[in-house]
Chains A and B, each alone.
Chain A
């Protein structure tokens, strides 16, 4: 009873924060810009969120995260539109949607495909938000009992699990993570006051700003990659014929696949901590195994759109549980959001729920509102979004350059930051050439400082003995997780297991 009372007062608090006209406007601007990013080819959600973070500097923390979450959600959403109509996924989580979505569009059923993706995303997003409300405080409550050793092990486990899923080569991905940690050690050590890796440069005393690195690694790198192969930019686009709405038959097939997608996506994103892309593939595999219409998959079955689209949104929502309750990002995009929160001066983690309830619940309420806005914004306006693909690529790239410089400069009014950003743009491109993933660097930078702090605190408690990480059961369990993630290179066995379970992964 007490629990319920708390629950409703929290919800009321949240809607009180998110419902102010200004925050509603920000939420709208966020989902609008997010959809824009999702639709535009060549700008992934990571680039988009990183480029738009400078917009949030002058805002209150609650307003800033409402704007950012809107962008995040919108980008997840917009990616599916181009998957269906142009057969080019806007981001990796929409790759699977191409398989059946584009086939549906070819058969003149683009309208129902878009509607199924939109409604599926809406249902899944709402479900994930509800779960965040129910379980968030509980998870945060457990994490509140964590001491420094548990936190250190938690971060280590988070880094290794996410890293092990980041690329083709475990060695390269782990190196990338450590490179991020190395960047995080630059600047004045805040426990002893000793400068580290500053090379006598006063501007390096505060270390490298994570946003400078992120914009260089993603936005400028994307400019280089796109300019390197500009010729083949012509795309064939399908128009929307016929009605937008689902028929009765469609609904019958929509509902079960939406439920399956939502649950599996939430499991993958919220509990296993893997990203939205994994969730969409697991869901497609599940549809292949259990759907009544599995033979039609790949030839334009509505299940192939509904399942993965529900799953990736459920996972995106679910990974916010990790971000908000534990302070551990589950993907590159959430790592950038975490970095942005740290810049505002908020430390996500279990204390957030008790110390800044208006912030957490305001965000949760805004996620509901944002989901509704997305539904309203996307379905009727889909024609307008598709027109955006007419923006020539070279103009888009010039805009990215401009916004990168604008954003990084306004952060510290520093020209040196601009040069560092360009340097990381080049590094990002070179890394791409040899297939070293860049997202783990961001994870390393964002978690590095805190991880070092917790490690040193732990060793002060234990008087210098490393055994403290092993003798505490929770810490030991988390280290075990990290160990499994590393000793399972390529996740081959698990991959096989998943394939056996779900009867063959989709050929992609």
Chain B
């Protein structure tokens, strides 16, 4: 349990540094925004600068809370959780994540985006869907293959023919699909 907490604190520390770097880069770019030809009361860079400073200050406070030997708790863990429940805060997630599965799905998504126009909607969707099925759960491959066919090829047909939504055809165009 204690290890968990330290782990969380380490992640928080890394996050706070990432946020400081991000805010600084944003702020630098905000100062590099060119002035318009027409002089205005408030140029296009004023608002981004204010936002950038705000982010930098908050990221700084965040980092300070984390590095000062963990945030000085004004509330106990339990109190924080109770308040979080009352205001309906987003749920905390399990830290012990299955990184392999997540990595696989991330690669699948990147492939999906990469091939979306090149191979067309129908083929890419079918491939990604089946790859997901084969990786995640192979107990009902036949049933899932039918579902994959419907959500790729049949859906493509419905969208392009009935709903007039443009979707990339890919090589299917050669078949006059």
Please, which residues of chain B bring their CB within 8 A of the CB of A275?
A: 87-88
**Beta-carbon nearest neighbor of A228 in chain B:** B97
Q: Is A142 an interface residue (CB 8 A)?
A: no
Q: How far is the CB of B62 from chain A (nearest CB, A)?
A: 5
Q: Is B42 an interface residue (CB 8 A)?
A: yes
Please, which residues of chain B bring their CB within 8 A of the CB of A277?
A: 86-88
Q: Are A165 and B98 in contact (CB under 8 A)?
A: no
**Interface residue count for B (Cβ, 8 Å)?**
80
Q: Is B1 an interface residue (CB 8 A)?
A: no
Q: Are B89 and A230 in contact (CB under 8 A)?
A: no
Q: Are B80 and A495 in contact (CB under 8 A)?
A: no
Q: Are A410 and B90 in contact (CB under 8 A)?
A: no
Q: How far is the CB of A331 from chain B (nearest CB, A)?
A: 9
Q: Is B85 an interface residue (CB 8 A)?
A: yes
Q: Are A402 and B129 in contact (CB under 8 A)?
A: yes
Please, which residues of chain A bring their CB within 8 A of the CB of B46?
A: 456
Q: Report if A227-B29 is in contact (Cβ < 8 Å); known contacts: A166-B89, A418-B116, A463-B41.
A: no
Q: Are B85 and A434 in contact (CB under 8 A)?
A: no
Within 8 Å by CB of B92, from A175, A392, A435, A460, lies: A435
Q: Is A172 an interface residue (CB 8 A)?
A: yes
Which residues of chain A from 389 to 415 have a CB within 8 Å of any chain B CB? 392, 394-395, 397-399, 401-402, 405-406, 409-410, 413, 415
Within 8 Å by CB of B113, from A185, A422, A507, lies: A422
Q: Report if A456-B98 is in contact (Cβ < 8 Å); known contacts: A394-B137, A405-B116.
A: no
Please, which residues of chain B bring their CB within 8 A of the CB of A456?
A: 40-42, 46-47
24 contacts between A and B (CB under 8 A): A178-B54, A178-B58, A191-B44, A192-B43, A193-B36, A194-B34, A220-B109, A228-B99, A228-B101, A229-B96, A229-B97, A275-B87, A397-B105, A398-B128, A398-B133, A402-B128, A409-B121, A433-B95, A456-B46, A459-B41, A464-B42, A495-B86, A505-B82, A508-B86
Residue numbers of A with Cβ under 8 A of B are: 58, 92-93, 95, 165-169, 171-172, 174-175, 178-179, 181-182, 185, 189, 191-194, 196-197, 220, 223-225, 227-230, 274-278, 281, 392, 394-395, 397-399, 401-402, 405-406, 409-410, 413, 415, 418-419, 421-422, 425-426, 429-430, 432-439, 452, 455-456, 459-460, 463-464, 490-492, 495, 505, 507-508
